[in-house]
């Protein structure tokens, strides 16, 4: 089989990006596994608290709830899930340490009955269930009934180093994040309906917005960029908040990604000489409060923001398969770039990377190894024309 090489124009960039970003997400089976496990946690804890019944709930927070889940690049693509265990009692009826210890006792019962077997570890604020390839951080909490709460879903959480209960509102934050792209979601639903698609029959988690995809890109680029100095990485909540504030609906994913990466730091405030990234549902909380005592964190944020803007722009700086994929590799890594290559329906790109691309002797026509009788290997392309 002889195949001619084709160049990629901008029209193919969306296809490449979509396929590349899909490698960052968890699979449908993993999603079902996560749901099954946290539902089982809830059942065991309800039994544990059967003598003191209350309206207890277990729910996801963080990137799983936001639709921005990104595999752990430096932990063999492990999946990290954040859960809240909400004990439906008044904060005055318990203490932070008692709530945490009681939750831990219930989780040890879950571990004893779990299949496959999980292990349990403790940190300052939460408990962690560890499975092969998956970690589930479980945060004990009680409802926040004070007027100062972010929303009706506000919670009070434990903290080893702080005497007072700490306020949080992951559900309120998730609602704010979804509201940012409500116009885009409604437009996409209209377009799907026009094509005859039953929108209600399509799981919401499969219909990602450009903001969700952009956040996944930013987090993966951050993890690659800070290889060797992971402790300097800007936090995901800071990146997600700034990206949502920088989001402007565009004609395509790349346009949205480019706009967000270009203007990220414009949404960091300076108040009384301190960097502020305010929690949109609890403005008194500053997601960047630790920057005041660790000024290198702000420097790392601004350094990375410049790099991600440069690298995102480089994706479409030149036309041609190799240059597009080079840019994707810079931002998202090798696995994502190979997925993008496959999306182009051009087997020669994958073949070149794996050493199976060969040239027919005499003519130089490119072919896949095994397709031509007399061939010679084609050396991997080193993507001249830009810094790596």
Residue 204 clears pLDDT 90, i.e. is over it: no
Q: Count of CB atoms within 10 A of residue 195's CB?
A: 7
For 94-125, the pLDDT digits (tens) are 999 999 999 999 999 999 998 888 999 998 88
Residue 206 clears pLDDT 60, i.e. is over it: yes
Same domain, 138 and 251: no
Rounded to an integer, what is the distance from CA 93 to the centroid of its chain? Answer: 36
Same domain, 212 and 347: yes
Same domain, 198 and 162: no
pLDDT for the residue 203 = 72
pLDDT for the residue 236 = 95
Q: Whole domain around residue 211: which residue ranges?
A: 10-21+177-377
Least Cα distance to 167 among 176, 156, 159 occurs for: 156
Same domain, 162 and 217: no
Q: What is the rounded (10 degree) CA torsion for 279, 281, 283, 284?
A: -90
Quote the mean pLDDT of the chain. 84
Residue 347 clears pLDDT 80, i.e. is over it: no
Residue 356 clears pLDDT 70, i.e. is over it: no
Strand-pair partners of 271: 274
Q: How far apart are CA 45 and CA 42, in angstroms?
A: 5
Same domain, 259 and 371: yes
Residue 10 pLDDT grade (very low, low, confident, very high; cuts 50, 70, 90): low
Q: How far apart are CA 1 and CA 149, in angstroms?
A: 65
Does 239 fall in a domain?
yes
Asked if residues 154 and 141 have their Cβ atoms less than 8 Å apart, the reply is: no
Domain count, the chain: 2
Residue 370 clears pLDDT 90, i.e. is over it: no
pLDDT for the residue 365 = 35
Residue 383 clears pLDDT 60, i.e. is over it: no
Over range 351-363, report the average pLDDT. 39
Query: Domain boundary at 123, 151, 169, which?
Result: 169
For 220-244, the pLDDT digits (tens) are 999 999 999 989 999 999 999 999 9
For 147-183, the pLDDT digits (tens) are 888 889 999 998 766 678 999 999 999 999 999 999 9
Residue 263 clears pLDDT 80, i.e. is over it: yes
Residue 201 clears pLDDT 90, i.e. is over it: no
Does 213 fall in a domain?
yes
Indicate the range of 6-15, 98-107, 233-242, 338-347 predicted with least confidence.
Answer: 6-15
Q: How far apart are CA 329 and CA 341, in angstroms?
A: 11
Same domain, 67 and 159: yes
CATH number, domain at 88?
Answer: 3.30.460.10
pLDDT for the residue 227 = 93
Same domain, 30 and 96: yes
- The backbone region for 370, taken as left when phi is positive above 0, alpha when psi lies in -120 to 50, beta otherwise, is left
Asked if residues 235 and 199 have their Cβ atoms less than 8 Å apart, the reply is: no
Same domain, 181 and 164: no
Least Cα distance to 23 among 333, 240, 274 occurs for: 333
For 310-330, the pLDDT digits (tens) are 999 998 887 677 888 889 999
Does 388 fall in a domain?
no
Report residue 338 as tokens.
Answer: 């190979």
Over range 71-83, report the average pLDDT. 81
Whole-prediction pTM value? 0.83
Over range 13-29, report the average pLDDT. 90
Same domain, 255 and 371: yes
Residue 11 clears pLDDT 90, i.e. is over it: no
Query: Domain boundary at 169, 197, 225, which?
Result: 169
């Amino acid at each position: 089989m002889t195949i001619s090489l084709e160049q990629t124009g901008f029209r193919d960039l969306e296809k490449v990006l979509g396929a590349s970003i899909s490698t960052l997400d968890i699979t449908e089976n993993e999603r079902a596994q996560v749901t099954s496990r946290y539902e089982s946690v809830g059942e065991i804890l309800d039994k544990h608290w059967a003598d003191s019944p209350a309206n207890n709930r277990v729910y996801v927070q963080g990137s799983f709830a936001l639709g921005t889940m990104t595999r752990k690049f430096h932990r063999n693509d492990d999946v990290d899930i954040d859960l809240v265990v909400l004990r439906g009692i008044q904060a005055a009826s318990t203490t932070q340490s008692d709530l945490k210890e009681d939750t831990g006792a219930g989780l040890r019962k879950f571990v004893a009955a779990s299949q496959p077997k999980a292990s349990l570890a403790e940190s300052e604020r939460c408990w962690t269930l560890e499975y092969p390839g998956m970690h589930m951080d479980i945060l004990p909490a009680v409802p926040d009934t004070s007027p100062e709460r972010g929303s009706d879903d506000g919670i009070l959480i434990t903290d080893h180093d702080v005497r007072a209960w700490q306020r949080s509102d992951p559900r309120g934050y998730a609602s704010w994040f979804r509201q940012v792209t409500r116009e885009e979601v409604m437009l996409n639903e209209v377009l799907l309906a026009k094509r005859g698609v039953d929108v209600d029959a399509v799981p919401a988690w499969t219909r990602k917005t450009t903001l969700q995809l952009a956040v996944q890109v930013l987090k993966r680029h951050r993890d690659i960029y800070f290889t060797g100095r992971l402790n300097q990485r800007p936090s995901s909540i800071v990146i997600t908040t700034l990206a949502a504030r920088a989001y402007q609906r565009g004609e395509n994913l790349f346009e949205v990604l480019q706009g967000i990466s270009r203007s990220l730091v414009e949404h960091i405030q300076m108040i009384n000489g301190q960097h502020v990234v305010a929690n949109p549902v609890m403005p008194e909380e500053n997601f960047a409060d630790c920057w005041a005592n660790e000024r290198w964190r702000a420097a790392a944020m601004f350094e990375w923001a410049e790099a991600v803007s440069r690298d995102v722009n480089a994706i479409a700086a030149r036309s041609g398969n190799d240059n597009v994929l080079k840019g994707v590799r810079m931002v998202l890594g090798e696995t994502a770039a190979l997925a993008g290559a496959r999306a182009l329906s051009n087997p020669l790109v994958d073949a070149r990377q794996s050493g199976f691309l060969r040239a027919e002797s005499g003519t130089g026509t490119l072919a896949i190894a095994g397709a031509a009788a007399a061939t010679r290997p084609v050396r991997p392309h080193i993507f001249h024309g830009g810094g790596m």
